[in-house]
Amino acid sequence: MSDAFKGYKGRALETLKKFNVRVWSETHIQSRRGAFKGIILPRAENDDDRHLVLKLANGYNVGVAVDTIEQMHQVGYKEAHYKIPEKEFPFSPAKPNIKLFGTGGTIASRLDYRTGAVIPAFTPGELYGAVPELADICNLSTEKLFSVFSENMGSAEYITLAKAIGAEIEKGIDGIIIGHGTDTMHHTAGALAFMIQNSPVPIVMVGSQRSSDRPSSDAALNLIHAATAACRSDIAEVMVCMFGPTSDEYALLHRGTRVRKMHSSYRSTFRTVGDIPLAMVQRDKITPFRNDYHHRRKDRKVDIYPYFEERVTMVYYYPNMHPDIIDALVEKGYKGIVIAGTGLGHVNKPVYPAIERAVKAGVAIYMTVQTLWGYVHMFVYETGRDLIAKGVIPAENMLPEVAYVKLGWALGQTDDLEEVKKIMLTGVCGEITEREPYNGYLIFQGGIPEIEEFLKKVHK
Ligand code: ASP
C-alpha cells in the first residue's frame, strides 16, 4: 500500500479515496457526531478499518467512525517526517547473542510523540533507539515473524515460531526472546513448551500491557528484564517474563505451562497458577525460587515437535448446558474436546448421553477444572465416576488452555487414542505436577487481618 493511505484498509480506505483525501491531509470532516478539523494520521497494520484518525490542533488524536462521515474535504497538507531514532545496535564479542522474534501485540508498537501515530518498532536499531539499555545486556538481532494482536495467533503461527526458534538454537544462539501480545501469551507459551523440548537455552516470552506512549508503560522494563533472563538465566525453558508486583521493582519468570493472564489491565497480570514462579528478575540479578528446572546447557540438542490437530476444542461448562453442543462438535468432525468442568470436574446429567456418543464416535474427551487451582478428582462424587465410566479422562491439574494446546499437539502426532492418552498424562514440562504447594495459591485478599498486617510491614 502506498504511503498516501498508510495503514488504512477496507472501509476506511474507501472513505479516504471517495473524498479524495490522504494521510497528512489537513481535513474538515462533517459527521453525524459533529464537525472536526485536523490532520489525517497514518495507522498501524493492526488497526481496524472502521476509523480515520485525526490529530486535532490541540494535540489530541480522535478516531472518527467512517460510517458517520457525511462530508470531508482537504484544506491543506502537512506531512510530518517522523522516524524512531535508529542507531546501529552495537556488537560486543563479550556479550551473549540473543534473538528476538516479533509476533505483534502492544509491545511491537510505539507511538510517535509528534504525530500521535502508532508505528512498529522492530529492527534492532529501532529497539536500541527506544530502549538503549538493551545494548548493555546483549547483542540483539530481531526478526518480525508476524504482526498481529495475539487473539490472531493460532496453530500455524505456533508451528512457524517453533521451527524458527529451533533453527536459531541450532545456529548457536545464547537465548531467545519472543515479543507477543499479552492476551493469549499463555496459550502460545503452552504450545511452545510442548513443541520445543530440550532447549539448551532460555526461551523468554514478553509483552506489555500498556503501550510505550503511556507514562506507565511496562514495555521497556519488560524488554530489559526479558533480555536479562534470556542472557543470564540458567533456566532453559519456555517462560513468560512480565511485571511481578504492581510497581516496577522486579519481573517474574513463569513456567510456560503454568502461567496465565489474570487481569485485563494491570501490569502485574501474569501469575503462575498452582505453583510458585520460577524466578525473580531484576536489572542486575536473577533470583531463582526453585531448582527443579531444565538448566542451561549449550551442548544439548533441541527437539522440535511441530504438530497440531485443528479439530480440537475447549468447552467451558455452565449449568444448563444442552447436550447438542457436544453432538454438534462430533458432527463437525472434532477429534478432541477439553472440558473445563465445575468443581472437581463435573457437567450436568443431560450432557452425559452426548459425551457417551462422542466417546463412541472416537472423540478424545479430557476434563479440567474451572477453578484453575487444584486437581480434577472424578472419584469423589458419583457424577464424576459416571463421567469416567463414559470415557472422560481426567487431565490432572493441567490448566484448561494448556490441556487444549496439549490435546491439539498430541492428536497432531497420532490418531491412536491410547497413544494420545499416554502423551496427555505424561508430564512434559510442569503442566502436571504431583502437588500444588500452599504458597502457590491466591494470596493478598485485602481486609483479611493477617494480610493487612503483612502489608503494613512491607508497604510503608
Ligand atoms: N490485545 C493485545 C494483544 O494481546 C494486548 C497486548 O499486547 O497486551 O495482542
pLDDT at 250 over 60: yes
What letter would DSSP give residue 286?
E
Range of the domain at 327: 312-425
The contacts of residue 93 (CB under 8 Å, 6+ apart) are none
Residue 88 lies inside a defined structural domain of this protein: no
- Residue 31 sits in a domain of what CATH number? 2.30.30.520
Is 207 near ligand 1, meaning CB less than 6 Å away? yes
Residue 87 lies inside a defined structural domain of this protein: no
290 in the same domain as 355: no
135 and 277 Cβ atoms separated by less than 8 Å: no
Which residue bears the cell 548457536? 172
334 in the same domain as 276: no
Alpha-carbon dihedral 410, 411, 414, 418, rounded to 10 degrees: 80
239 in the same domain as 190: yes
265 in the same domain as 152: yes
Give CA–CA dist 139/274, Å, rounded.
36
Query: How many C-beta neighbours within 10 Å does residue 361 have?
Result: 13
Ligand 1: residue of 47, 109, 110, 149 to mutate (most ligand atoms within 8 A of CB) is 149
Tell me, yes or no, if 103 is annotated catalytic.
Answer: no
The contacts of residue 230 (CB under 8 Å, 6+ apart) are 96, 98, 138, 174, 175, 176, 177, 201, 202, 203, 204
106 in the same domain as 244: yes
* 63-72, 137-146, 337-346, 440-449: least confidently modelled range: 440-449
Residue 84 lies inside a defined structural domain of this protein: no
Tell me, yes or no, if 183 is annotated catalytic.
Answer: yes
What residue spans of 312-399 are helical by DSSP H?
Answer: 324-331, 352-360, 382-389
Give CA–CA dist 376/354, Å, rounded.
21
Residue 441 CB-half CA count within 13 A: 9
Please write the tens of the pLDDT for every residue from 265-280. Answer: 999 999 999 999 999 9
pLDDT at 81 over 70: no
* 4-13, 122-131, 391-400: least confidently modelled range: 122-131
186 in the same domain as 333: no
Three cell numbers at 107? 509491545
Please tell me the predicted confidence (pLDDT) of residue 165. 98
Instruction: Please tell me the distance between residue 398's alpha carbon and the centre of ligand 1 in angstroms.
Output: 24
Query: How many C-beta neighbours within 10 Å does residue 221 have?
Result: 19
Q: What is the average pLDDT value for the chain, to the nearest integer? A: 91
Please tell me the predicted confidence (pLDDT) of residue 110. 64
Give CA–CA dist 220/131, Å, rounded.
6
* 25-34, 46-55, 287-296, 312-321: least confidently modelled range: 46-55
* 209-218, 263-272, 296-305, 376-385: least confidently modelled range: 209-218
Q: Which residue has the higher pLDDT, 412 or 42?
A: 412
* 125-139, 176-190, 274-288: least confidently modelled range: 125-139
Among 148, 161, 178, 233, smallest CA distance to 405 is for 161
Q: Which of 27, 103, 106, 228 is catalytic?
A: 106
Residue 419 lies inside a defined structural domain of this protein: yes
pLDDT at 96 over 70: yes
Residue 365 lies inside a defined structural domain of this protein: yes
**Exposure of 127 by Cβ count < 10 A (0-12 exposed, 13-18 middle, 19+ buried)?**
buried
Confidence of residue 437 (pLDDT cuts 50, 70, 90): very high
- Residue 338 sits in a domain of what CATH number? 3.40.50.40
Q: Which residue has the higher pLDDT, 424 or 450?
A: 424
291 in the same domain as 318: no
180 in the same domain as 300: yes
Please tell me the predicted confidence (pLDDT) of residue 163. 98
| Complete DSSP assignment for 148-192 | --GGG--HHHHHHHHHHHHHHHHTT-SEEEEE--STTHHHHHHHH
Give the predicted TM-score (pTM) of the model.
Answer: 0.84
Q: Which amino acid is at 345?
A: G
- Residue 176 sits in a domain of what CATH number? 3.40.50.1170
Tell me, yes or no, if 55 is annotated catalytic.
Answer: no
Is 396 near ligand 1, meaning CB less than 6 Å away? no
233 in the same domain as 210: yes
Q: Is 159 strand, coil or helix?
A: helix
372 in the same domain as 259: no
Give CA–CA dist 87/128, Å, rounded.
6
Q: Which of 47, 183, 218, 275 is catalytic?
A: 183
Is 105 near ligand 1, meaning CB less than 6 Å away? yes
pLDDT at 20 over 50: yes
Confidence of residue 113 (pLDDT cuts 50, 70, 90): very low
Instruction: Please tell me the distance between residue 252's alpha carbon and the centre of ligand 1 in angstroms.
Output: 19
Among 415, 434, 400, 423, smallest CA distance to 197 is for 423
251 in the same domain as 128: yes
Last residue of a domain, one of 240, 270, 304: 304
Total domains present in the chain: 3
Q: Which amino acid is at 430?
A: G
Please tell me the predicted confidence (pLDDT) of residue 114. 47
Tell me, yes or no, if 426 is annotated catalytic.
Answer: no
**Exposure of 70 by Cβ count < 10 A (0-12 exposed, 13-18 middle, 19+ buried)?**
exposed
345 in the same domain as 418: yes
Instruction: Please tell me the distance between residue 106's alpha carbon and the centre of ligand 1 in angstroms.
Output: 5
Is 209 near ligand 1, meaning CB less than 6 Å away? yes
CA 353 distance to own-chain centroid: 36
Confidence of residue 83 (pLDDT cuts 50, 70, 90): low
Atom of ligand 1 nearest to the CA of 150: 9
Three cell numbers at 8? 488504512
Please tell me the predicted confidence (pLDDT) of residue 306. 98
What letter would DSSP give residue 342?
B
Please write the tens of the pLDDT for every residue from 364-401. Answer: 999 999 999 999 998 888 778 889 999 999 999 999 99
